[in-house]
Every structure is written in structure tokens, then in C-alpha cells.
């Protein structure tokens, strides 16, 4: 500041430097003094301690062992003095976590019902002892013929292992009177992104979208770096509080995975957010499927409604190919050999292979389009990883991501009010994935009348 | 605003203990302290002093020595069942640790209420279920039916040489349904007792990684280095049977260091002459304690074998009641 503009009080700068120098010297002197004092004190305390030491030795002397060195062999020479403690403190100590049997659900007072998710009922509750408002999620025990549902176990296991500011916190697990009454106690958040967006007039602004996407991706990045797949990312599973903070919730489909990927069930992720390789029946998949969902959510935030609303698996695929183009053997090597791809009859003209993302999102900047295109890349190997998304240039360009504290607040719907229901498919039930079989499915129609389509940027007033 | 989270261990794959390469850690986050309530993939839950000093079984009148014996028998049974089911040692070890967690503490399970055979089966079933290798209730129960029959070497007096009768371990449909109900109920009880925390971190992969870090386990394996690795893992598996429940009292790095130390001594490989265990966050005191604990395992297991050599270790509730009555009779 001062260096840029020539000050009218030119000698003030020099004065300031001098003043700073004096101050430093003073500080140094003071420190030296304190140091001397400390040393003095240490010496005196050692002198005080010495007689006691001698006393002990003298006591030992009664047993005829006087003058013996320490019984235990010392390995490092510095360790003779009493100041051993700092050296030992370098070791990493894990917090000693404990466990005790589950508490009873009576410790919580149910306030109101929130919603019924795919794997349980959620209600708002108050912990009687502390007054904390929490969300209580009752696990569904439908597949009880195999004992405790494995999905519930995995949900608890993965949620417990995840501590991140953008992942909902599992506080504890409590039980009711029956052995199969199991409740997850989680932080209560006021909104979910889906209803919030439906109730907003204009949707989120570009800067808010960036913040939301960054929060989502940092949670996904955390999960993937801990080898957890979420497998059901969608806007209704993204919770928001009134401080602009988003948290990923509902780990009902989450599980640990490995490298090489183990054989996993294909019937995961809500249809509209399901990656093409899952729809085509890939036996092995990995973190890429979550990034596809992130891409769908990104698109949904931009256009204020779900991006790819397929009615069934085949329709979903055709919607995907309509947006991203028909995959070619060059763009996605080996996709033809996927189980469900064999029965697909795909038009084989070059004009249908390119993505129309650019045209579908005319208001998105070039960087934004590249990001969305890479997230919605048909070939899972070419899809961005969460780490890559976090450093994407889209987030560096203007408008910058909005600070969470600047987010608008909204009236809480999860409180007492009933919500408007908009039909959307729920997460698939466990079981075998339906095969796309039978007569060959004809996709040649989806690009008919392409020339009649409206293209171009359109017009909008609000950009930021 | 977006503090990028630095996970304690970036991957769950074998041996990713980043702490040793200090230069990889950015300076601003160098002193890594795990978050307080974080269940990490490097640490375990530990039993409290109260939990270790008083068990629910003791409150129910099971003598302390029998308590230890039953725990050992449970671990042995789980190990045997895991082997018969061809499960990897990782799952078996986790099941054993969960079995221990269940029976520890005054709020935990009691041998007189939940038979050790049931808890062992439930623990193995549940651990396999959340792993990559789930097992059906039928395979689990078939294996346990065999292991509890007189045909099984664990239960057979050594002198009898008669061919085992297959009838004795055949699981009829009726008894299967009954056993299945017990298994699933025990699973729920087990989960409630351990507060649904199914995460068990094992020291095995850490130990191998430590051996590599110490430069004694090189890609080009020599007979000696192979023996060292095998011995290290053997110690860790033996420690699962320790009556001192070291898996409930010490963190995986400490167990790994102790087994490496002991194995190197036994195989005759010289490790670094400095206090290398401090690199792995284990102090000398803890190492010493664990080495003694691991070395005492063998004698204890031998004693247990002799004590129950007629295969009479009470694995079921009825057997336990008889055993306790017999003991009471001896006292009078």
C-alpha cells in the first residue's frame, strides 16, 4: 500500500523501519532474558531433585546395591536428563476410542417425521439429555432372511469411517425394544437440495453452483480416497443447512471397494443418475460411477431439473446417448462387449457420435462445458476423477465460488410443513439387475429430426 | 473455506503408511493428529480398564480362569471354522477380535447367556457378510455342526481311533432352521453389544510394510526374508489367541512392531541398531510389554491344550453349566 503510493511524509517510512528494528531488538533481549531465567530455574530444580535421587539410591544401598546404574539399559545418550518427555511426545498417538452397548432410542424425543428414504424412515428428534436436534433414521429390516441387512451394516460401517465437513455425521446407533429396531442418530440438516431447488424461483446462481459442486466433490474425493463408493448420489441425498453447507447423506448403498475392483452388484444408483457402464451391465466398476452422478447433479443444478429423466433402463440409455452421443469403439474401447450392449442396435453415422452438451447448456462457459463433458464421459476411463474436478479451471474463473456464509437462507421444510411430492424414481431394490434382453432395442430413432432442433445460446439476464 | 481433507491413510491397500516419508507431507499439516472421534483405518477401538477388569460372565459366576479358557476356545473355534470355509485370515482375525469385544466388560455378553459357539458363528457370519466374501447361513451352520460334533479333532479325545460317524454332524432341515434362528438372533445381540462398530484394523499388512521399510523384505526374496515374514505373521496370528487380549489393548502399529521385533530375533536377522520402533510410533515400554505377551502365548496355549485334551471344553450352554457345577462341587 504505502510502497505503491509515494507518501507525503517521506521520512515516516524510514522512521517506521527504525521503530521496527528497535522493537525487534527489544524483543530479542526480552527473549534472551526469559531463556536465562528458565535455565536458572531448571538448574535449581535439578539441584533440588538430585538429593531425592541420592536418597533413593541410598535406600537401595541398604539392600547392598548402592552405586549401581539404572537397571534398564538406555539406548540413546541424551536420555539421561529429566527432560526426556519432549522426545517421547513425537510419537503419534491414536485416540483410544471405546465402545459400549447401544443406547436406547428413548434417550431421544421424536419431534416430527421428515421423509421415507429408500432404506428407512427419517424423523427429527431431540436428545433429551442435551437438547440437541438430530435426525433419527430407522433402518428397514426387510431382507431379514439373511439376518441383519448387509446394506444397513455397510451404511453404518462407511458412515462411521467418514468424518468430513461435507458428509453427514453419524453420531451413534441406538436401538428400540425389539432387536430389529435400529436407529441411526445423525446431525439434522434443514434442507435437501432437491426440494430446495424445486421451491426456489430462479435456482442457484453460477457462483452458488460452483460452491455446491466443490463441496460435493470434496466429499466424493474423501470417500474415494478412503476406498468407499457412495453409489447413490442424487440431489435428494444432498442435505443443506442454512449456513450454505452441503452434506452428503444416505449411505444405504455405500460400500468399500478395492483395487482390482471386486465383483459388485450392478443394480445401484437411482436410475436418473446411473452411469452408462452400469446400464450396460459392466461386472466391474469403480469410483467413476460416482463421478457420473456428480455430472448429472451438476447439470441438474444448471437447468433446475433432473438432467436425464429416463422412464426405464432402455429409455435412460437413449437419453444418455442423446446427450452424450453414441459411443464408438474408438471413444470407448470394449463397450460393445458389455453384457447389455450386444442387444443394442445403434445408428452408426458420424453425426450422432459427438456430445450436444455445448448446445444444451448455452450459458455455461467453456471451462464449465469441458468439466461437464468430462464428468459425463461415456467411457469411464476418460471420466475425471474427483481430485481432477477439484482443481478444474472452471472454479478459478469468474464468478468465483460464493462463500458459504453468503448463501441465502430458506425456510426449513424439514420442520413441520408437508412437502410437495414430485415423482422421481427411488434407489433400486436389492436383487439382480434387469437385463436388457429380448428383441434388439432400436436406438436409430433418437437422432431423427436433428436438424429441426433449436440451437443457440438463447437469452438470459441473470448470470451471476 | 474448502480445507482439503488430508486422510490419515490415503488408501486401504496393503502398506500405505505415509507417515514415514516425512518429505511427502506438506509443512502446514505435518503434525498429524487424527480427529478425536474418527474411526481410522490405522487404529482400533480399545477396551477400557473397567471392561478388562470385570466381565459380564464373571458377574454371572463363571470363574476367571474358565472365562479365559472359553475365550480361547471361541477364538480357536472361529479360526477352525474360517479355515474350513476357506476364508482369508483377514476375515477370521476380524471375527475373533469382534468375539472378544463382545465378551468383554460388565455390559458385554456373558458366556452363560450366549454360548461361545453361537457368538463365534455369528461373529464369523457377520464379518464375512460385510466383506467381499459373504457366506450363506447354511455353510456357516454346516461347518459349526461338524466342529461341535465328536467327529471333529478339536472335540475328540485323542485315543479314539474309530471312524467318525457322518450322522453325528449331519444338519437336518429341522435343526438347521432352529440353528439359523439362533444364529440371526445372536448376530443382532452381538451387533448391539459392539455398538455396530464392525471395523477391525489388523496389524498384518502394517507388519509387512514395516519389514519393507526396515529393508529386510526386499522384492528379491531370500529364504531368510521369507521365513522372517512368515514368522512375523505367525506371531500376529498367535497373538489373536493371547489371554491378555492384546488386540483389545494395543493399537495395530504396536502389535506389528512387536511381532517384527520378535520374528527378527528368532530368525536371526539384524534390524537397525537404533530405536526403529519409534519411527512407527511405538515406545520401548509398549514394545517390551507386547514381546513378553507374545512369547508367553505358546506356553499358555500348551497348558490349555493339556487342560482340555479330552475335548471337553464347554462350548455350549449345557456343557458350561455342567462344568460350573463340577467346579462348584470341587470347591465344596
Highest average pLDDT, of A140-149, A263-272, A295-304, B148-157, comes from A295-304
Residues 71-130 of B with CB under 8 A from A: 101, 105, 107-108, 125-126, 129-130
CA distance, residue B330 to nearest chain A CA (Å): 35
Q: Which chain B residues are Cβ-neighbours of A218 within 8 angstroms?
A: 2, 4-5
- Cα B167 to chain centroid distance, Å, stands at 32
Taking the C-alpha atoms of residue B58 and residue B56, their distance in angstroms, rounded to an integer, is 5
CA distance, residue B248 to nearest chain A CA (Å): 10
**Is there a contact between A95 and B36 if contact means CB atoms under 8 Å apart?**
yes
CA distance, residue B39 to nearest chain A CA (Å): 5
Taking the C-alpha atoms of residue A194 and residue A249, their distance in angstroms, rounded to an integer, is 13
Q: Average pLDDT for consecutive 10-residue bins of chain B (332 residues)?
A: 35 36 38 51 83 87 89 93 95 95 90 92 94 91 90 72 75 91 92 90 92 86 87 94 92 93 90 86 91 92 86 83 83 64
CA distance, residue B126 to nearest chain A CA (Å): 8
Whether residue A259 lies in the annotated active site? no
Considering only CB atoms, B275 lies closest to which of A76, A175, A214, namely A76
Considering only CB atoms, B187 lies closest to which of A147, A161, A182, namely A147
Q: What pLDDT digit, counting tens, does each position of A41-52 carry?
A: 666 665 554 443
Considering only CB atoms, A157 lies closest to which of B7, B44, B198, namely B198
Q: What is the pLDDT of residue A180?
A: 78
- Do the beta carbons of residue A428 and residue A265 sit within 8 Å? no
Whole-angstrom CA distances from A58 to A47, A55, A64, A69 are 17, 5, 10, 13
Choice among A192, A232, A250, A290 that is catalytic: A232
Is the ipTM, as predicted for this complex, more than 0.90? no
Residue with the bigger pLDDT between A156 and A415: it is A156
CATH superfamily membership of A192-334+351-430: Transferase(Phosphotransferase) domain 1 (1.10.510.10)
Phi-psi region of B245 (alpha: psi -120 to 50; beta: other; left: phi over 0): left
Q: What is the pLDDT of residue A309?
A: 92
Residue with the bigger pLDDT between A234 and B2: it is A234
Whole-angstrom CA distances from B124 to A370, B135, B138, B196 are 48, 9, 13, 15
Q: Which chain B residues are Cβ-neighbours of A259 within 8 angstroms?
A: 13
Considering only CB atoms, B278 lies closest to which of A91, A157, A225, namely A91
Residue with the bigger pLDDT between A17 and B158: it is A17
Residues 26-55 of B with CB under 8 A from A: 32-48, 51
Whether pLDDT at A69 is above 70: no
The C-alpha angle B132, B136, B141, rounded to 5 degrees, equals 130
Taking the C-alpha atoms of residue B324 and residue B65, their distance in angstroms, rounded to an integer, is 12
Q: What pLDDT digit, counting tens, does each position of A377-403 carry?
A: 999 999 999 999 999 999 998 888 888
Average confidence score pLDDT of chain A: 78
Please name the residue of chain A whose CA is at the shortest distance from the CA of residue B2: A215
**Is there a contact between A215 and B196 if contact means CB atoms under 8 Å apart?**
no
The angle, 0 to 180 degrees and rounded to 10, between the axes of the packed helices B116-130 and A150-161 is 70
Interface test with A, best of B25, B49, B195 (most A CBs within 10 A): B195
Q: What is the pLDDT of residue B254?
A: 93
Residues 399-438 of A with CB under 8 A from B: 401, 403-404
Nearest to A402, CA basis, from A145, A215, A220: A215
Q: What is the pLDDT of residue A192?
A: 86
Domain A105-187 has CATH 2.40.240.10: no
Mean pLDDT, residues A326-334: 84
What torsion, rounded to 10 degrees, do the Cα atoms A189, A193, A197, A198 define? -90
Please name the residue of chain A whose CA is at the shortest distance from the CA of residue B183: A147
Q: What pairs with residue A110 in β-bridges?
A: A125
Q: What is the pLDDT of residue A231?
A: 92
Range name among A14-28, A419-433, B149-163, B255-269 with the lowest pLDDT average:
A419-433
Q: What is the pLDDT of residue A425?
A: 73
Taking the C-alpha atoms of residue A366 and residue A65, their distance in angstroms, rounded to an integer, is 83
A360 in B contact zone (CB under 8 Å)? no
Q: Is B307 helix (H, G, I), strand (E, B) or coil?
A: helix
Residues 216-255 of A with CB under 8 A from B: 218, 221-222, 225-227
- Do the beta carbons of residue A236 and residue A194 sit within 8 Å? yes
CA distance, residue B242 to nearest chain A CA (Å): 20
Q: What is the pLDDT of residue B280?
A: 87
Considering only CB atoms, A225 lies closest to which of B7, B34, B125, namely B7
Domain with CATH 3.30.200.20 in chain A: 105-187
- Do the beta carbons of residue A148 and residue B126 sit within 8 Å? yes
Please name the residue of chain A whose CA is at the shortest distance from the CA of residue B106: A100
Q: What is the pLDDT of residue A264?
A: 83
**Is there a contact between B39 and A161 if contact means CB atoms under 8 Å apart?**
yes
Q: What is the pLDDT of residue A43?
A: 64
Whole-angstrom CA distances from B28 to A215, B20, B24, B32, B282 are 22, 17, 12, 10, 24
Taking the C-alpha atoms of residue A293 and residue A307, their distance in angstroms, rounded to an integer, is 10
Taking the C-alpha atoms of residue B168 and residue B196, their distance in angstroms, rounded to an integer, is 35
Q: What is the pLDDT of residue A346?
A: 74
- Cα A358 to chain centroid distance, Å, stands at 28
Whole-angstrom CA distances from B181 to A145, A372, B137, B138, B175 are 10, 51, 10, 12, 10
| Grid cell at residue A324 | 452424450
Q: Is A348 exposed, middle or buried (0-12, 13-18, 19+ CB in 10 A)?
A: exposed
**Is there a contact between B188 and A91 if contact means CB atoms under 8 Å apart?**
no
Considering only CB atoms, A91 lies closest to which of B11, B137, B281, namely B281
Q: What is the pLDDT of residue A2?
A: 45
CA distance, residue B201 to nearest chain A CA (Å): 12
Residues 134-173 of B with CB under 8 A from A: 134, 137
Domain with CATH 1.10.510.10 in chain A: 192-334+351-430
Residue with the bigger pLDDT between A302 and A146: it is A302
| Grid cell at residue B30 | 505435518
- Do the beta carbons of residue B256 and residue B210 sit within 8 Å? yes
Whether pLDDT at A144 is above 70: no
Please name the residue of chain B whose CA is at the shortest distance from the CA of residue A258: B13
Residue with the bigger pLDDT between B30 and A104: it is A104
What is this structure's pTM? 0.77
**Sequence-distant (≥ 6) Cβ neighbours of residue A457 within 8 angstroms:** A362, A363
Q: Which chain B residues are Cβ-neighbours of A287 within 8 angstroms?
A: none
**Is there a contact between B192 and A90 if contact means CB atoms under 8 Å apart?**
no
A64 in B contact zone (CB under 8 Å)? no
**Is there a contact between B192 and A172 if contact means CB atoms under 8 Å apart?**
no
Q: What is the pLDDT of residue A212?
A: 93
CB atoms inside a 10 Å sphere around CB A243? 11
Please name the residue of chain A whose CA is at the shortest distance from the CA of residue B8: A226
Range name among A1-5, A354-358, A386-390, B224-228 with the lowest pLDDT average:
A1-5
Considering only CB atoms, A148 lies closest to which of B7, B33, B188, namely B188
Q: What is the pLDDT of residue B191?
A: 92
| Grid cell at residue B261 | 521385533
Q: What is the pLDDT of residue A46?
A: 57
Q: What pairs with residue A109 in β-bridges?
A: A126
**Is there a contact between B282 and A91 if contact means CB atoms under 8 Å apart?**
yes
* Residue A362: φ, ψ to 5°: -65, -20
Q: Which chain B residues are Cβ-neighbours of A262 within 8 angstroms?
A: 132
Nearest to B198, CA basis, from B117, B95, B93, B55: B95
Whether pLDDT at A224 is above 90: yes
Residues 130-149 of A with CB under 8 A from B: 144, 146-148
Q: Which chain A residues are Cβ-neighbours of B46 within 8 angstroms?
A: 96-98
Whether pLDDT at A152 is above 80: yes
Taking the C-alpha atoms of residue A170 and residue A161, their distance in angstroms, rounded to an integer, is 9
Considering only CB atoms, B129 lies closest to which of A88, A153, A403, namely A153
Amino acid at each position: 500500500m504505502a510502497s505503491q503510493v509515494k507518501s507525503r511524509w517521506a521520512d515516516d517510512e524510514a522512521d517506521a523501519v527504525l521503530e521496527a528494528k528497535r522493537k525487534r531488538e527489544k524483543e530479542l533481549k526480552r527473549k534472551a532474558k526469559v531463556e536465562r531465567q528458565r535455565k536458572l530455574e531448571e538448574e535449581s530444580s535439578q539441584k533440588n531433585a538430585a538429593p531425592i535421587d541420592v536418597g533413593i539410591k541410598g535406600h537401595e544401598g541398604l539392600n547392598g546395591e548402592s552405586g549401581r546404574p539404572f537397571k534398564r539399559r538406555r539406548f540413546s545418550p541424551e536420555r539421561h536428563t529429566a527432560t526426556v518427555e519432549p522426545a517421547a511426545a513425537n510419537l503419534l498417538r491414536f485416540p483410544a476410542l471405546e465402545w459400549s452397548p447401544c443406547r436406547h432410542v428413548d434417550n431421544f424425543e421424536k419431534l416430527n417425521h421428515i421423509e421415507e428414504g429408500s432404506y428407512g424412515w427419517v424423523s427429527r428428534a431431540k436428545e433429551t439429555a442435551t437438547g440437541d436436534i438430530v435426525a433419527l433414521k430407522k433402518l428397514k429390516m426387510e431382507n431379514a432372511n439373511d439376518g441383519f441387512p448387509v446394506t444397513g451394516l455397510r451404511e453404518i460401517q462407511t458412515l462411521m469411517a467418514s468424518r468430513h465437513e461435507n458428509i453427514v455425521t453419524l453420531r451413534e446407533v441406538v436401538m428400540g425394544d425389539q432387536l430389529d429396531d435400529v436407529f441411526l442418530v445423525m446431525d439434522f440438516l434443514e434442507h435437501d437440495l432437491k426440494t430446495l431447488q424445486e421451491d426456489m424461483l430462479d435456482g442457484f446462481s453460477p457462483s452458488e453452483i460452483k460452491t455446491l459442486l466443490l463441496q460435493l466433490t470434496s466429499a466424493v474425493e474423501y470417500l474415494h480416497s478412503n476406498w468407499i463408493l457412495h453409489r447413490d448420489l442424487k440431489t435428494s441425498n444432498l442435505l443443506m443447512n442454512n449456513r450454505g453447507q452441503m452434506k452428503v447423506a444416505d449411505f444405504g448403498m455405500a460400500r468399500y471397494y478395492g483395487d482390482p475392483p471386486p465383483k459388485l452388484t450392478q443394480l445401484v444408483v437411482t436410475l436418473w443418475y446411473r452411469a452408462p457402464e452400469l446400464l450396460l451391465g459392466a461386472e466391474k466398476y469403480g469410483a467413476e460411477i460416482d463421478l457420473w452422478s456428480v455430472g448429472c447433479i451438476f447439470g441438474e443444478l444448471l437447468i433446475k431439473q433432473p438432467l436425464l429423466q429416463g422412464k426405464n433402463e432402455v429409455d435412460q440409455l437413449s437419453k444418455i446417448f442423446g446427450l452424450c452421443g453414441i459411443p464408438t469403439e474408438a471413444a470407448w474401447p470394449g463397450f460393445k462387449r458389455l453384457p447389455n450392449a450386444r442387444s443394442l442396435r445403434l445408428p452408426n453415422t458420424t453425426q450422432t457420435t459427438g456430445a450436444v452438451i455445448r448446445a444444451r447448456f448455452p450459458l455455461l462457459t467453456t471451462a464449465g462445458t469441458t468439466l461437464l463433458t468430462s464428468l459425463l464421459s461415456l467411457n469411464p476411463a476418460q471420466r475425471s476423477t474427483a481430485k481432477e474436478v477439484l482443481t478444474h479451471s472452471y472454479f478459478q474463473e469468474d464468478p468465483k465460488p460464493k462463500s458459504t456464509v453468503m448463501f441465502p437462507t430458506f425456510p426449513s421444510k424439514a420442520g413441520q410443513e408437508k412437502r410437495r411430492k414430485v415423482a422421481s424414481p427411488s434407489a433400486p431394490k436389492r436383487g439382480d439387475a434387469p437385463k436388457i434382453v429380448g428383441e434388439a432395442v432400436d436406438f436409430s430413432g433418437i437422432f431423427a429430426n436433428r436438424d429441426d432442433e433449436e440451437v443457440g445460446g438463447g437469452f438470459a439476464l441473470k448470470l451471476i | 473455506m474448502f480445507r482439503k481433507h488430508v486422510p490419515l491413510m490415503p488408501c486401504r491397500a496393503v502398506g500405505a503408511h505415509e507417515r514415514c516419508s516425512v518429505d511427502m507431507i506438506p509443512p502446514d499439516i505435518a503434525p498429524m493428529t487424527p480427529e478425536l472421534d474418527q474411526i481410522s483405518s490405522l487404529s482400533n477401538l480399545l477396551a477400557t480398564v473397567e471392561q478388562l477388569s470385570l466381565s459380564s460372565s464373571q458377574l454371572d459366576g463363571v470363574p476367571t480362569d474358565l472365562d479365559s479358557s472359553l475365550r480361547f476356545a471361541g477364538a480357536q473355534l472361529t479360526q477352525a471354522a474360517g479355515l474350513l470355509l476357506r476364508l482369508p485370515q483377514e476375515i477370521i482375525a476380524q471375527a475373533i477380535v469382534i468375539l472378544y469385544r463382545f465378551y468383554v466388560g460388565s455390559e458385554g455378553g456373558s458366556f452363560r447367556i450366549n454360548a461361545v459357539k453361537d457368538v463365534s458363528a455369528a461373529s464369523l457370519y457377520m464379518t464375512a457378510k460385510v466383506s467381499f466374501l459373504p457366506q450363506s447361513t447354511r455353510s456357516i451352520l454346516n461347518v459349526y455342526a461338524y466342529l461341535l460334533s465328536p467327529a471333529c479333532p478339536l472335540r475328540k479325545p485323542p485315543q479314539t481311533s474309530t471312524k467318525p460317524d457322518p450322522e453325528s454332524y449331519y444338519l437336518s432341515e429341522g435343526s438347521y432352521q432352529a440353528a439359523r434362528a439362533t444364529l440371526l438372533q445372536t448376530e443382532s445381540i452381538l451387533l448391539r453389544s459392539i455398538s455396530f462398530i464392525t471395523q477391525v484394523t489388523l496389524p498384518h499388512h502394517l507388519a509387512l510394510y514395516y519389514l519393507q521399510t526396515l529393508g529386510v523384505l526386499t522384492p528379491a526374496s531370500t529364504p531368510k526374508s521369507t521365513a522372517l515374514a512368515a514368522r512375523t505373521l505367525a506371531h500376529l496370528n498367535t497373538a489373536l489367541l493371547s489371554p491378555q487380549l492384546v488386540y483389545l489393548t494395543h493399537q495395530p502399529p504396536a502389535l506389528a512392531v512387536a511381532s517384527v521385533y520378535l520374528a527378527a530375533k528368532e530368525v536371526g536377522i539384524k534390524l537397525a541398531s537404533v530405536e526403529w520402533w519409534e519411527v512407527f510410533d511405538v515406545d520401548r515400554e509398549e514394545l517390551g510389554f507386547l514381546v513378553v505377551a507374545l512369547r508367553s502365548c505358546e506356553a499358555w496355549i500348551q497348558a490349555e491344550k493339556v487342560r482340555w485334551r479330552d475335548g471337553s471344553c464347554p462350548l455350549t450352554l449345557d456343557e458350561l453349566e455342567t462344568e460350573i457345577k463340577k467346579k462348584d462341587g470341587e470347591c465344596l
